[in-house]
Structure 1
Amino acid sequence: MPFLINETGKDPVDLYYKDYGKGKPVILIHGWPLSHQAWEGQTQTLLDAGYRVISYDRRGFGLSSQPLEGYDYSSLTSDLREIILQLDLQDVTIVGFSMGGGEVVRYFTDFGGDRVKKAVLIGSIIPLVAQKTDNPDGVPADMLNGILDALKSNRIGFLKDFHKNFYNYENNTDRMSQANLDYDFSIASHASPIATIKCAEAWAGTDFRPELKNVSVPTLIIHGDEDNIVPIKSASDQAAKGITANEYHVISGGPHGLTLTHRDEVDKLLLDFLKK
């Protein structure tokens, strides 16, 4: 199995990755609390279209190392940087889903967008999840604290039902099955409990609004208008205002997990953007 080692932090981190194809490189960054396996559909679509597709497990998830610390966004983004450098990638498109949007934006802050040609944010938490006085459409603090409390007291119980809301399951049974929920539960339940909690703290508490101006490449933004996990008004609506060169698409009826439920629409937008 292929691993890269990130030795830039306090302790070395082994990063599990998959690298398929030989065309222009596209890096897929998964959401919380899943792994690279969440990109199964898009990986096949991109390979069929002739792209080189690299996906990896965020530290603490999938087969990557499960360190005690290092779940702030700059540490997480250093893993993305090592993927790019050690595979010697140029003119990369970096694609972040949900939490993964944070690594996309932070990459421009920490590394100036070096070697990156395009960016994609899908159902992204960017720029701010939490409700604040100047972000009234965000998620209220009591709800975010409730998630963290549930993860600390009964993580498995919380994860068992989490993905029903992730996919708006009752409204999308014609687009997915119970097996999809079981698959996601299996992936999420095997992640590091520490990483699951600390990454939740990172995506819930990081304010990327000052960093939007740093995104200096053409950026595709996709969000579902029925996202019950990441409110579109506090996320992509704001990202589209703060990122200069963006193309913004709202998918009607799309839940948070729209890469599965609305795969055809997402994949078409992605391929059209990559071809431009």
Structure 2
Amino acid sequence: MKISEYLLSCQLKMVRLRKKKLLPGQMSDVGAFLFVCFMIPFTFLWEIFFITPELYKEGGEMWYLHVVLGTIMLVNIAGNFLGLWLVDTSTRHIVVPSKKIGENWHYCASCEAVAPPRSWHCNVCNTCILKREHHCMFAGYCVGHYNHRYFLLFLAWLWVGVLYCIYFNTTYLWNMEGVFSFYAVLKFIFPLIMIMTGVDMSTAQVAIFFWSVHVAAFLLVSVLLVYHIHLIYHGKTTFESNRRIANYDLGWKQNFIEVLGKSWKLALIWPFGKSKLPHNGVDWDTEATWKLEAPKNR
């Protein structure tokens, strides 16, 4: 093995965490980032300490059951969001010889460096991203090779979590008298304005606000989750799909392992578990090479 190839393999053995420019670089990202950071813990506190005690006897078996389930969801949502936000998936730590250009590698004028296949420059992050998927406004950072797993599972657990919250808030509001009236229509249309202006700062109005946010989040996350599962199923990223690049479809099972890692069962339930990815983000199997290599790997 050449020295340059050895150094490259050593650099990619450990996943690095970003230590600089942790906050989003543009204002639209800042708003989305702060909203997620605010809503995740406050939703948990609201549902566990205000809603569930109204539906179940506090200290009872059902209450403790929902506290445990809610905590599991919180850990997975927050843990995967941290991975999405903090894991460095850029090419800034990769040093490669210039002769690589032409072997599906390309020169990035912005970074003034050679970038590997599936890596593209992000003007917001101001760097090339390994297997660039897209720039995520909620994390203020790009989704790429090393944090793709966290992005997908963040969406999946968030989908479960908001559906769970919708059930509780709907049940809570349904049991309240006078909530569903003509005047209440305005409360559902402008929930936050009602609270901020002081027109209605009751617990019921706060519940309406959370219900509205969760319904909107459920619709958005459902669309995003279906879209990205479809992309992964076909071995593509958003960037590649937009440019009709379809060279990396290794079969749907392997395509998901490429994202979730070899210990995908652990990754599904524990965001801090290690799940080694089959590829290093630099050297990729194509559909043609996988037909030759797959039998050996199996």
Same fold (TM over 0.5): no
**Structure in which a larger fraction of residues adopt strand:** 1
Q: Which has the higher contact order (CA 8 A, sep 6+)?
A: 1
Larger CA Rg, structure 1 vs 2: 2
**Structure in which a larger fraction of residues adopt helix:** 2
